[in-house]
């Protein structure tokens, strides 16, 4: 058996990497036990805005939201939109739940951190949910600082591969936007190679280098981006529009 067998995340059908880290704090565990079941994406059936939020609205999907900073900031920025996030790492899910829960005791007093009612979370594989979203239903898809899997033999584990990109293209409506960010040069080169193969599906929204070297407006910083910058890494930002 060879480590270089063909495939990508849509055909490997397994998750790689950690699913949990250090023990959750009591407050985080309480949110996992009480809030997560209330806002969890249903485990079967179609995943639609009407089913999740009771009425149609633009839908956003974040693949691997880390600690949920970006997802929460975007949801707060666009309260009339619906946000779906998928993350297999329970510690990241717990941190995202802290953002979603807000600060209820301040909400009725004009506080700055009211709960976010427009977020739904899947603790697990993003592809399980993405496959159940009707074609053409998403307005935005985000893939920000994914695990780079830098070794060549692990390239098939990268989310930036033909299978996932075809799936993202199918789920985005015409004019919908796919945003990708990374600070890893190997992943960058691989992603650009993959996206060149999908020019019939996506238009790269960049006129010159400055457009992908600076974080665009309305693109909140993630903790991974902040960490990368603190370590002196360059960060790249890509916006693709579904044709």
Mean pLDDT for the stretch of residues 92-115: 77
> What integer pLDDT is reported at residue 229 of this predicted model?
92
Mean pLDDT for the stretch of residues 39-54: 98
Helix (H, G, I), strand (E, B) or coil at 227: helix
Smallest CA-to-CA distance from 180 within 156, 200, 160 is with 160
Q: What are phi and psi of 151, to 5 degrees?
A: -75, 140
Q: How confident is the model at residue 20 (pLDDT cuts 50, 70, 90)?
A: low
DSSP 131-184: TTSPTT-EEEEEEES-----SGGGGGG-SSSHHHHHHHHHHEEEEEEEEEEE--
Instruction: Read off the pTM.
Output: 0.93
DSSP state for residue 23 in the 8-state scheme:
P
Mean pLDDT for the stretch of residues 136-157: 95
**Computed from CA positions of residues 15, 17, 22, 24, in that sequence, does the dihedral angle turn out positive or negative?**
negative
- Across the chain, the runs of DSSP E, i.e. the strands, are 59-63, 82-86, 119-122, 138-144, 172-182, 202-204, 236-242
> What integer pLDDT is reported at residue 104 of this predicted model?
60
CA 103 to chain CA centroid, Å, is 24
| Residues labelled catalytic | 147
Return all residues near 166 (Cβ < 8 A) that are at least 6 apart: 10, 198, 201
> What integer pLDDT is reported at residue 63 of this predicted model?
98
> What integer pLDDT is reported at residue 5 of this predicted model?
61
- Is the pLDDT assigned to residue 14 strictly greater than 90? no
- Is the pLDDT assigned to residue 37 strictly greater than 80? yes
How far apart CA 3 and CA 20 sit, in angstroms, is 26
């Amino acid at each position: 058996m060879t480590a270089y067998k063909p495939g990508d995340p849509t055909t490997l059908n397994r998750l790689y990497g950690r699913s949990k880290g250090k023990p959750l704090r009591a407050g985080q565990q309480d949110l996992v036990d009480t809030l997560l079941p209330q806002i969890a994406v249903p485990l079967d059936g179609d995943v639609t805005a009407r089913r999740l939020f009771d009425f149609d609205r633009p839908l956003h999907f974040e693949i691997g939201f880390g600690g949920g900073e970006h997802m929460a900031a975007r949801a707060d920025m666009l309260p009339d939109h619906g946000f779906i996030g998928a993350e297999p790492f329970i510690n990241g899910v717990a941190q995202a739940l802290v953002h979603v829960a807000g600060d209820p005791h301040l909400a009725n007093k004009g506080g700055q951190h009211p709960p976010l009612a427009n977020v739904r979370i899947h603790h697990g594989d993003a592809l399980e949910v993405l496959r159940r979203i009707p074609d053409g239903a998403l307005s935005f898809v985000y893939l920000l600082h994914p695990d780079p899997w830098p070794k060549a033999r692990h390239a098939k584990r990268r989310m930036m591969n033909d299978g996932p990109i075809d799936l993202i293209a199918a789920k985005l409506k015409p004019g919908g936007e796919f945003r990708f960010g990374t600070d890893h040069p190997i992943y960058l080169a691989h992603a650009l190679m993959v996206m060149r193969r999908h020019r019939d599906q996506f238009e790269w929204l960049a006129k010159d280098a400055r457009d992908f070297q600076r974080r665009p407006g309305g693109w909140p910083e993630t903790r991974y981006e902040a960490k990368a910058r603190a370590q002196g890494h360059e960060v790249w930002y890509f916006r693709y529009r579904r044709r």
